[in-house]
Amino acid sequence: HTCQVCLKEFRNSGSLYRHALIHDGKKPHGCPQCGKRFTQKESLKRHLVSHSDSRFVCHLCDKCLKSKEGLRCHMRTHHSDRSHPSYY
């Protein structure tokens, strides 16, 4: 899968699609605190940490937590019905 704009190659169509947002100028993921917009959800997650003392972000709901143990507790409490053993 090759980008027709910059000729960068990707392993799958999903990766190519996310990359193409850069060229289209589309930024569908917005920060609820400052309004800054991002092309990729992962970039927004990293940005959200800048608004708090938190360093750990839940990959399922974007909640920011201050410690690894806090993230583990959050995962057990709020996402235990999902199968994510590597996060406990």
Whether 4 maps to a domain, the answer reads no
Whether 59 maps to a domain, the answer reads yes
d(CA 35, CA 30): 6
pTM of the model: 0.48
Whether 73 maps to a domain, the answer reads yes
Whether 63 maps to a domain, the answer reads yes
Residue 30, φ and ψ in degrees, nearest 5: -110, 145
Whether 47 maps to a domain, the answer reads no
Confidence bin at 9 (pLDDT 50/70/90): very high
Domain that holds residue 60: 54-82
Whether 17 maps to a domain, the answer reads no
Whether 38 maps to a domain, the answer reads no
pLDDT of amino acid 54? 66
Whether 75 maps to a domain, the answer reads yes
Q: Does the pLDDT value for residue 12 go beyond 90?
A: yes
Count the domains in the chain: 1
Average pLDDT over residues 21-36: 88
